[in-house]
Structures are given as C-alpha cells and as structure tokens.
Amino acid sequence: MKKGFSGMGGGMPNMNNMMKQVQQMQKKMQEVQEEVEKKELEVSAGGGAISVKINGKKEVLSIDIKPEVIDPDDVEMLQDLIVAAVNEAIRSAEEMVSKEMSKVTGNMNIPGLF
C-alpha cells in the first residue's frame, strides 16, 4: 500500500505545473473574451438590403435597411430579411468568439478540462 502512495506523491509537481497552466489559460481566456467583446462585425442579408452590426457580446448595435426594400404591402418579407440578418450576425459573432478562444485552448493538452 505504501508503494502506491509514494508513486502518487511523485506526480504532484506535474499536478502543480498543470494547475499553473490552467490558471494561465484562464487568464488568457479572460483577456481574449474582453478583446472579442469590443470587436464589431457587420453582416448583411437580401443582397445587402439589410445590414446588421453586432459586437462580440452578441449585442446588436445597429440595423440598416435600404429604403427600396420597404414595401408597405409586403411587411413579412422585410421582417424575414431582418430576422435572417440578425441570426447571421449572431452566428458570425459566435464563430468569431469560438475561433479566438480556440487559439487559447487549442494548444493546451489538459485531458478532461474541455
């Protein structure tokens, strides 16, 4: 039984090193998150008829609608274009965040962390 414990004790420096790596990664992830939240993306739908500006926090900053797509007799089409543009903006923001975070986590080899 004692042999098993001495073998485990030898692994502790590796555990401490791993914990330091995790802490460094957490700090870097926080920094990346703060940077990404400041970034802005612009996405359009309907061939540029609707443009949506969004940030990394997935907050819609603005929506630009070309006057020629405003048809009082076809409000549903305008609504559909707005929904499509907003959804695409959200997807693009999520993809940007994921891509930036993978730069931090992709190089770490810590089994079971993610």
Of the chain, the percentage scoring pLDDT greater than 70 comes to 82
Q: pLDDT class for 98, splitting at 50, 70, 90?
A: confident
Q: pLDDT class for 66, splitting at 50, 70, 90?
A: very high
* Domain residue ranges in the chain: 13-105
Q: What is the pLDDT of residues 29-40, one digit of tens each?
A: 888 888 888 899
Indicate yes or no: pTM above 0.85: no
C-alpha dist (Å) from residue 103 to 7, 33, 37, 58: 35, 12, 16, 20
Q: What is the pLDDT of residue 7?
A: 47
Q: What is the pLDDT of residue 107?
A: 53
Q: What is the CATH number assigned to the segment(s) 13-105? A: 3.30.1310.10
Q: Mind spelling out the 3-state secondary structure of 50-75?
A: EEEEEECCCCEEEEEECHHHCCCCCH
pLDDT over 50 at 91, yes or no: yes
Nearest in space to 94 (alpha carbons), one of 39, 45, 46: 39
Supply 56's token pair.
């990394």
